Amino acid sequence: PALVDLRQVSLTYRVGKEETLALADATLSIAKGEFIAVVGPSGCGKSTLMKLVTGLLPPSSGEVHVRGEKVVRPIKGVGMAFQNPTLMPWRTTRDNILLPLEIVAPHKQQFRRKRAEYAARAERLLASVGLGGFGDKYPWQLSGGMQQRSNLCRALIHEPEIMMLDEPFGALDAFTREELWGIMQLLWLERRFTAVLVTHDLREAVYLADTVYVMSRRPGRVVMTKRIDIPRPRT
Ligand code: ADP
Ligand code: ADP
């Protein structure tokens, strides 16, 4: 069953009198637990597609459905990671990872009461990305790759059903990037979230995704859909 369904979705940005067609008549569906990648040059509408899927933008025409319901406001249960990890420098890695839980807690008291349990959850996540024992370090004490791994932990702490990954490895050197592909794949095999990865890197898309959507330079057009059948390690 489809978790996300885009039905003939178009989006036109209007700034003053200027109109930009950023997504044209896109129809695609993402199954629960599927890993999709969207590749294409800058300006082809990848970020716009992400914002439509998560309900941050309403489509100009067409409909977006998530879990069978028409999306009319930002959806819940989404984890996000971008190119630059936005970790707060004055918080330890652990406290950065706990931040999403702290923000959604209705009262500070409630968060404090569950803190030990949450911290244990953060520790398990850190261990699964190879950062066991690094919870007390501050972001600036970590390398770029380690910061992005912490960033992924933060995105996963509330156990989201959908992960939106916008060029999460784009700022890393080639060696670190490929190391993170392996970690990303392990996280996905363990947790089976649905993932939408935006990337410029075709090798990355093929490595990680079940389905690769290729968008063209003419803004907003999905020109090719390539389903990839990769035998995956069973865990
Ligand atoms: P990508 O993520 O592939 O680089 P975007 O979705 O950001 O592409 O942009 C698609 C097109 O829409 C581009 O031509 C871009 O300039 C335009 N665009 C994106 N965001 C806005 C906005 N907020 N207002 C006006 N035009 C925008
Ligand atoms: P809390 O809400 O639990 O106090 P923070 O420690 O993140 O969470 O602090 C709240 C806000 O205060 C932050 O969003 C940030 O804008 C600001 N802030 C706190 N410490 C600093 C700092 N060292 N440098 C800059 N801004 C800070």
Question: Mind listing the pLDDT tens digit for each residue in 6-40?
Answer: 999 999 999 999 999 899 888 889 999 999 999 98
Q: What mean pLDDT comes out for the span 132-139?
A: 97
Interface predicted TM-score of the whole assembly (ipTM), two decimals: 0.70
Beta partners for residue 6, in sequence order:
28, 64
Q: Is 170 left (phi over 0), alpha (psi -120 to 50) or beta?
A: alpha
Q: How confident is the model at residue 229 (pLDDT cuts 50, 70, 90)?
A: low
pLDDT of residue 44: 86
Could you give the CA distance from residue 153 to residue 116 in angstroms, rounded to a whole number?
17
Ligand 1 atom 16 nearest Cα? 43
For ligand 2, residues with CB inside 6 Å are 88, 90
pTM of the prediction?
0.86
Question: Mind listing the pLDDT tens digit for each residue in 136-164?
Answer: 999 999 999 999 999 999 999 999 999 99
Closest CA to 177 of 211, 143, 209, 154: 143
Closest atom of ligand 2 to 102 CA is 3
Substitution site in 17, 20, 60 for ligand 1 pocket (most atoms within 8 Å of beta carbon): 20
Question: Mind listing the pLDDT tens digit for each residue in 100-121?
Answer: 999 999 899 999 999 999 999 9
Ligand nearest to the CA of 112: 2
Helix axes 93-104, 144-156, angle to 10 degrees: 20
Pairing label, strands 69-70, 61-66: antiparallel
Closest atom of ligand 2 to 108 CA is 3
Question: Mind listing the pLDDT tens digit for each residue in 46-82?
Answer: 999 999 999 999 999 999 999 999 999 999 999 999 9
User: How much distance in Å is there from the Cα of 5 to the middle of ligand 2?
Assistant: 38
